[in-house]
């Protein structure tokens, strides 16, 4: 599928049709030896084909919605689609009423001409960084597929839909790393915006203070296009940031503990390549962030907000939850209002002090996930191991969520080696600057 601009050019030059693109994706989704059955919870086969035919006609007549009209993408099973029940990778909401209209981000993507080919599987209620789903199955990371390793969560199916050419790009959510973890584990790019930039209406929440909506795709440019459309911006074009004078803060401390050898090797190779290109780096420690994380052992804003939303369903639909997910949500029942206020204040203070420490830096860098994807079977069989690996998966990505900062992961591993992501974090609301920096550094990070 390559990039959105590659596809747009081919469509414009009549080298390929939207109908062919959709048929290609559907063939991959429906392949008997593929992952489609666990990647998608629903596939819009007939609607997608009809929209593709309409897009081809509109392009021939010169009235296409945009250059991207007719390109198939997927969306996470968290977003409202008119006439359907939004199930969030669960059976808890099966008896809820159908959505009366599309979520704003779905409306904006459709208005730009994108064809939504289906809703992708996810961790139940987005509450895990593993990507395991006890209800709909677990799609495997493209790496070492014979072993069947976790795809990362919570936007698990979305990432695999892109890596396996079932969609040109996908839309997920990110509360603690849910676009960037699966992107890292599936060898693609994942972007988390500053939370307030993309409307959350029509999206089932996990945490109102941390949720954000972001894209995953094959390149930085693809993510920038989708982010621009979803945020309501007209700024589609993205230019690379000047490398001369660029200053990166290399985050040290707890985020560098316990790295798998493959992660450590790939990450430090990127730092070496950046140095050889004259990119300025400075080691940075964020003690306020470490203190905040230590305090959060008492409970988290995410956990408290998740329990508040789920309390009714835990009472009425208790047995419909995956017990592993349910227990994690119920663990926050004792998180009091006073705990919540204290934690929120600590988060604000942490954000303020961290911004002071990062004055003069254009972005922070760190490994996206400290581990490579673990075998699914090991984590399904051992709940305690699953909890441990889940916390490690979320540890580095959650830095950006605590700071409410934009962040992006770019694959940095060698071909055919275990997938590793290199993450850049910017300043809140400087999303386009971060994307511009990522575009400039992408060839270096990818070993191109």
- Looking at 178, 231, 398, 440, which residue is catalytic? 178
Q: Would you call 76 a catalytic residue per the annotation?
A: yes
Q: Would you call 178 a catalytic residue per the annotation?
A: yes
- Looking at 128, 141, 154, 398, which residue is catalytic? 154
- Looking at 76, 141, 228, 440, which residue is catalytic? 76
Radius of gyration (Cα) for the chain, nearest Å? Answer: 21
What HEC string does 347-373 produce? HHHHHHHHHHHCCCCCEEEEECCCCCC
CA distance 179 to 171: 8
From residue 66, alpha-carbon distances to 11, 81, 207, 365 in Å are: 11, 22, 34, 34
Residue 119's closest CA among 165, 87, 163, 151?
A: 87
248 has which bridge partners? 281, 363
Q: What is the separation, in whole angstroms, between the first and last Cα of the chain? A: 19
Peptide bond into 154 cis (omega under 30): yes
- Which helix (H) or strand (E) segment holds residue 173: the answer is strand 169-173
Walk across the sheet containing 421-425 and list its strands: 40-43, 115-120, 72-76, 169-173, 213-217, 189-192, 407-411, 421-425, 363-367, 247-251, 280-284
Q: Would you call 231 a catalytic residue per the annotation?
A: no
Q: Cβ(124)–Cβ(390) under 8 Å? A: no
Task: Output phi, psi for 223, to 5 deg.
Answer: -65, -40
Compute the CA torsion angle 327, 93, 163, 399 (nearest 10 deg). Answer: -50
* Alpha helices (runs of H) in 13-112, residue ranges in sequence order: 18-30, 36-39, 45-60, 104-111
Q: Cβ(116)–Cβ(102) under 8 Å? A: no
CA distance 130 to 433: 30
Q: What are the catalytic residues?
A: 76, 154, 178
């Amino acid at each position: 599928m390559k990039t959105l601009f590659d596809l747009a050019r081919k469509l414009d030059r009549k080298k390929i049709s939207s109908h062919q693109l959709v048929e290609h994706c559907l063939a991959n989704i429906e392949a008997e030896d593929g992952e489609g059955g666990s990647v998608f919870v629903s596939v819009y086969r007939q609607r997608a084909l009809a929209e593709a035919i309409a897009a081809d006609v509109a392009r021939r007549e010169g009235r296409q919605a945009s250059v991207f009209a007719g390109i198939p993408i997927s969306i996470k099973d968290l977003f409202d689609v008119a006439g359907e029940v939004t199930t969030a990778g669960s059976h808890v909401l099966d008896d809820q009423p159908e959505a009366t209209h599309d979520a704003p981000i779905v409306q904006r993507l459709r208005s730009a001409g994108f064809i939504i080919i289906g809703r992708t599987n996810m961790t139940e209620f987005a509450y895990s960084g593993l990507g395991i789903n006890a209800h709909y199955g677990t799609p495997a990371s493209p790496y070492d597929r014979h072993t069947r390793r976790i795809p990362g969560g919570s936007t698990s199916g979305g990432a695999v839909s892109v890596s396996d050419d079932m969609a040109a790009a996908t839309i997920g959510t990110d509360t603690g790393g849910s676009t960037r973890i699966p992107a890292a584990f599936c060898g693609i790019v994942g972007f988390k915006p500053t939370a307030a930039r993309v409307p959350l209406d029509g999206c089932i929440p996990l945490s109102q203070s941390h949720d954000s909506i972001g894209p995953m795709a094959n390149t930085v440019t693809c993510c920038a296009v989708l982010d621009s459309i979803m945020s309501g911006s007209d700024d589609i074009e993205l230019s690379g940031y000047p490398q001369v004078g660029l200053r990166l803060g290399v985050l040290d401390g707890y985020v560098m503990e316990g790295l798998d050898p493959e992660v450590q090797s790939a990450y430090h190779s990127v730092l070496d390549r950046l140095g050889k290109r004259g990119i300025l780096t400075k080691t940075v420690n964020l003690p306020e962030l470490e203190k905040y994380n230590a305090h959060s052992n008492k409970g988290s804003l995410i956990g408290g907000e998740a329990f508040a939303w789920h309390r009714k369903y835990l009472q009425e639909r208790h047995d419909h939850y995956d017990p592993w997910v349910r227990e994690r949500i119920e663990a926050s029942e004792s998180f009091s209002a006073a705990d919540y206020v204290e934690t929120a204040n600590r988060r604000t203070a942490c954000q303020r002090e961290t911004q002071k420490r990062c004055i003069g830096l254009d972005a922070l860098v760190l490994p996206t996930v400290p581990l490579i994807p673990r075998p699914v079977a090991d984590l399904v069989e051992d709940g305690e191991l699953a909890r441990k690996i889940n916390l490690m998966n979320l540890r580095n990505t959650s830095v950006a969520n605590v700071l409410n900062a934009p962040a992006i992961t770019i694959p940095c591993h060698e071909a055919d080696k275990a997938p590793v992501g290199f993450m850049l974090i910017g300043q809140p609301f400087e999303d386009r600057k971060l994307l511009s920096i990522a575009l400039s550094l992408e060839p270096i990070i990818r070993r191109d």
